[in-house]
Amino acid sequence: MNTDPTPRYPIGDVADRTGVNPVTLRAWQRRFGLLNPGRTAKGHRLYSELDIERIRQILGWLEKGVAISQVKALLDEPHAAPAGDPWRELQQALTRATVTLNRERLYRELDQLTALYPFELAADKALRPWIAALQPQLQPRPDGDLLLAWAHQQLELYLAGRTLRAQQQLPGEAALLLLLRGTPLEDALTACALSLGGERFSQLTLSSLDGCQLLPAQRVLCSLPARLHGGERRVLERIRQRGASLTAVGPLAAVYRDDPLFKEADHG
């Protein structure tokens, strides 16, 4: 453990090292007093190795299901018992907005969720479980199918908006994001996670890779199903032979961790 208290790292570097985006780091400081970074002469935040270790401790508590509002006390007294199930409470808040078809309320809840928690953690602990639980919850209702469709569409629209805003602010050359045979929601979650993680891309959603062997040499991010068809693998091999760099991304990136076809696997 490195406990050097010297402030030296700007917020972007800390976001890259910890996976916590700058908006969330600022919220943890302003709203909950979890961090106290130094400042440059111009007022920009500078974080130390000690701050980075504290961020990792915060993430550890969040992974255990502790609400962000309870983390400060647990950092001071790690043997104290956390109260409640914040992920379940967040899911219930999303459901309450859904059953009243209240888009503004739903978006406010989503804004708060994605501001206070790292996006991938929020997706794994709140968004995916919420959508999965909605169908059995709403099935007995005569308007259940309508409400479920509304929830899916609004969540996908929200994620698309977050992705677009993030993409407009990102510098550098864009990669190509190939989304192959995914569901609309998983594709939206993947694109949003990559965008908030600082990845600039143009997006291509496909049911097959027909014609992709003619893509120009570029950096290609591949969100793939659990198993590739033989023809799909051959197309990807041809893309790489043309000089492209292939990276597996998305929820199933771990499946391709040791696959020589890919440069690396990113669980974005």
Q: For the segment 5-30, what is each residue's pLDDT rounded down to a tens digit?
A: 888 899 999 998 998 989 899 999 99
Q: Which residues pair with 223 in a beta bridge?
A: 179, 249
Q: What's the pLDDT score for residue 77?
A: 78
Q: What share of the chain is helix, strand, coil (3-state, %, to 5)?
A: 55, 10, 35
Task: Name the helix (H) or strand (E) containing 32.
Answer: helix 22-32
Distance in angstroms (rounded) separating the CA atoms of residues 108 and 97: 10
Tell me: pLDDT of 200 over 50. Answer: yes
Distance in angstroms (rounded) separating the CA atoms of residues 127 and 218: 32
Distance in angstroms (rounded) separating the CA atoms of residues 236 and 244: 9
Average pLDDT over every residue of 79-99: 85
How does residue 108 score in pLDDT terms, banded at 50, 70 and 90?
A: very high
Query: In 139-229, which ranges are continuous DSSP H helix?
Result: 144-169, 184-196
Average pLDDT over every residue of 98-103: 97
Distance in angstroms (rounded) separating the CA atoms of residues 233 and 175: 20
pTM score above 0.95: no
Q: What's the pLDDT score for residue 267?
A: 46
How deeply is 29 buried, as exposed, middle or buried, from its count of CB atoms within 10 A (0-12, 13-18, 19+)? middle
Average pLDDT over every residue of 48-73: 91
% of residues, the chain, pLDDT over 70: 95
CB atoms within 10 A of CB 151: 23
- Which span out of 79-88, 178-187, 207-216 was modeled with the highest average pLDDT? 178-187
Give the lowest-confidence range in 16-20, 63-67, 127-131, 187-191. Answer: 63-67
Domain 9-76 in CATH 1.10.1660.10: yes
How does residue 99 score in pLDDT terms, banded at 50, 70 and 90?
A: very high
Q: What's the pLDDT score for residue 80?
A: 63
Nearest alpha carbon to residue 57 among 121, 1, 116: 1
Average pLDDT over every residue of 235-252: 90
Question: What CATH architecture is 173-265?
Answer: 3-Layer(aba) Sandwich (3.40)
